């Protein structure tokens, strides 16, 4: 039985969003073997039509390409969207810490006030909007005090350019510093059946401080979809090609987990991936689950997970299966 789309509040912001969010990293093409703009726009619009309001992007996804595609897709639909984007990975300045190179160009982690003011204007332009619902520091910058970063973000909030503040790829100390400096509404962290370390570190802190947790890579870059078997090969700049997490042995273990999940999926008339996403959203402290989609079929499939409710018995069975099969995974 499918229910209404699950919605939740982002921290204490009073912003209500679908618990399933569309993640648009792959739509930027970078590290995902390129992109198809028309398909990507259709995927975003299909997500909105299916009740997904939370759309997550970032300047770093294809150096602005993902934001531009999102902007085209939401034109005329802005009021249906809770738009999240990010700051802190910059290529217009050499300030901060060098993080990586993109097409031979250095990208730095930098969250100084000057960069944040510059970045928000660029994002607003690419997205074709005059406000961002949820603005996230993408990667933390050890060269800038969090208090300075928060001051800049709180100013943007006062100006109406952003409506809430988030932080991604954080430590517990980072979260404490953000909370001390202003209103942090959410963190965005990697979390899935095969990466659960935040359950012991960040989740208890966020529950205490009423900070939402947006989980990214809920399907572990596709590994937990049930569609990537031991025989799959990855081409070009697809980041999974040399990723030890996608070793043949890991994929065999995941295949056994998927066999265990199959009866639950069948009972709900759902796919295995939908069950994995629903399980993620029913874990204590996990408020939102960001799922990528590069075409309308994937988008609609992800959306249905937001209407799926697993019983406590099913949650337990899935947890036991994960504990049995997902041991000693190469990371």
CB atoms within 10 A of CB 1: 7
Nearest to 71 by CA among 129, 132, 155, 127: 127
Consecutive H or E run containing 258 = helix 248-268
Check the CA dihedral 135-21-247-233 and report its sign: negative
Counting DSSP H helices and E strands in the chain, the numbers are 10, 13
Report d(CA 224, CA 215) in Å as an integer.
14
Helices (H), the chain: 37-49, 65-74, 113-127, 146-158, 172-181, 202-209, 248-268, 272-281, 296-305, 312-325
Nearest to 325 by CA among 262, 255, 275: 255
Task: Give the SS3 label for residue 43.
Answer: helix
Report d(CA 39, CA 120) in Å as an integer.
27
Report d(CA 15, CA 29) in Å as an integer.
29
Report d(CA 57, CA 128) in Å as an integer.
13
List the catalytic residue out of 61, 135, 178, 216.
61
Q: What is the CA radius of gyration of the chain?
A: 19
Nearest to 302 by CA among 272, 260, 330: 272
Main-chain phi, psi angles of 187, to 5 degrees: -115, 155
- Verify whether residue 61 is a known catalytic residue: yes
CB atoms within 10 A of CB 110: 27
Q: How far is CA 21 from CA 52, 176, 222, 287, 290, in A?
A: 6, 25, 16, 11, 4
Catalytic positions? 61
């Amino acid at each position: 039985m499918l229910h209404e789309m699950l919605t939740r509040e982002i921290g204490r912001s009073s912003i209500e969003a679908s618990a399933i969010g569309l993640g648009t990293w792959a739509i930027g093409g970078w590290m995902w073997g390129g992109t198809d703009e028309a398909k990507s726009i259709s995927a975003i619009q299909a997500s909105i039509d299916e009740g997904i309001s939370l759309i997550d992007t970032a300047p770093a996804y294809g150096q602005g390409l993902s934001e531009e595609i999102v902007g085209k897709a939401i034109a005329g639909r802005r009021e249906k969207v809770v738009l999240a984007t990010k700051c802190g990975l910059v290529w217009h300045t050499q300030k901060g810490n060098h993080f990586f190179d993109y097409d031979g160009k250095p990208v730095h982690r930098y969250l100084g006030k000057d960069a944040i003011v510059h970045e928000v204007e660029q994002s607003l332009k690419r997205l074709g909007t005059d406000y961002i619902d949820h603005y996230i520091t993408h990667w933390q910058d050890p060269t800038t005090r969090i208090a300075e970063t928060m001051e800049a973000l709180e100013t943007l909030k006062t100006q109406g350019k952003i409506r809430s503040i988030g932080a991604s790829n954080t430590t517990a100390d980072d979260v404490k510093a953000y909370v001390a400096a202003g209103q942090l509404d959410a963190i965005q962290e990697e979390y899935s059946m095969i990466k659960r370390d935040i359950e012991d570190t960040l989740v208890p802190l966020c529950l205490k401080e009423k900070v939402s947790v947006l989980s990214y890579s809920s399907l572990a870059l596709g590994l937990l979809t049930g569609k990537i078997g031991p025989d799959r090969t990855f081409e070009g700049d697809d980041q999974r090609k040399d990723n030890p997490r996608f070793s043949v042995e890991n994929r065999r273990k995941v295949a056994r987990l998927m066999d265990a999940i199959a009866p639950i999926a069948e009972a709900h008339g759902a796919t295995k991936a939908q069950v994995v996403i629903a399980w993620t959203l029913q874990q204590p402290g996990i408020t939102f689950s960001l799922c990528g989609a590069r075409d309308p079929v994937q988008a609609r499939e992800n959306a249905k997970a937001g209407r799926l409710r697993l019983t406590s018995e099913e949650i337990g069975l899935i947890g036991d299966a994960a504990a049995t099969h997902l041991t000693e995974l190469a990371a």
